[in-house]
Amino acid sequence: MRRGRSGLSLDRAGTVQAAPVGDARRWLKYRRYGFAFLAVLGALVAYQYAGLSAARSLGLTPTPARFTELYFESPASLPTRLATSGVVAFRFAIVNREGAARTYRWTAVYSSTGAHGLLASGATAVGSGDARVVAVDVAPPVTSGATAIVVRLDAPRQSIDYHVDVVGPSR
């Protein structure tokens, strides 16, 4: 039997024969490698979806940080002096990085030597990954002197503040 380049062979009588059985076995062997490759690929995909969550629950992989940002929107524009007949006006931002929508309860208070009290309070709903700006416009808190204006979140417990000199007669 002579074999040509086409994979066909001639028998002794000169009749053309189909590809020999050895070529079919070789093809089956490579097909098995293909199935093995697909099985390994499937196992890796399954690990990514199932195994990764298990590893995360065991603390073996990092989880994204969850936090809330609280800041004055324009800290450079906050007043340093304030007349008792004026208005305390400021804006603060709440940024939700907690991974779910939340409603933040907040209070704005003042504190000075011998006096402290509530300026304003409220609740602000913030979607996951979103930011909300809250504007506060209230009457000045005290008769005169150095005063701290503090904005607090109830949960998570955070606060920011700025200092202002209140000047003018008593109310």
Give 99-136 pLDDT, tens digit per residue. 999 999 999 999 888 788 899 999 999 999 999 999 99
Domains: count for the chain: 2
Backbone φ and ψ of 116, nearest 5°: -160, 155
One domain, residues 113 and 144 = yes
CB atoms near residue 88 (< 10 Å): 21
One domain, residues 83 and 147 = yes
Q: What is the mean pLDDT of residues 38-42?
A: 83
How many Å apart are CA 158 and CA 18, to the nearest integer?
82
* Domain termination site, one of 32, 57, 82: 57
One domain, residues 79 and 21 = no
32 or 22, higher pLDDT:
32
Say yes or no to pLDDT of 171 above 50. no
Which H/E stretch holds residue 52? helix 52-57
The answer to the question of residue 62 being in a domain is no
Q: Please state whether 7 falls in left (phi above 0), alpha (psi between -120 and 50) or beta.
A: left
Write out pLDDT tens, residues 13-24. 767 666 555 555
CB atoms near residue 56 (< 10 Å): 12
Say yes or no to pLDDT of 170 above 80. no
Name the pTM for this structure: 0.63
One domain, residues 100 and 133 = yes
Say yes or no to pLDDT of 148 above 60. yes
Q: What is the mean pLDDT of residues 52-68?
A: 77
Say yes or no to pLDDT of 161 above 70. yes
The per-residue pLDDT for 105 is 98
> What tokens were used for 32?
């098995």
How many Å apart are CA 99 and CA 104, to the nearest integer?
14
The per-residue pLDDT for 40 is 84
CATH of the domain at 76: 2.60.40.10
One domain, residues 93 and 149 = yes
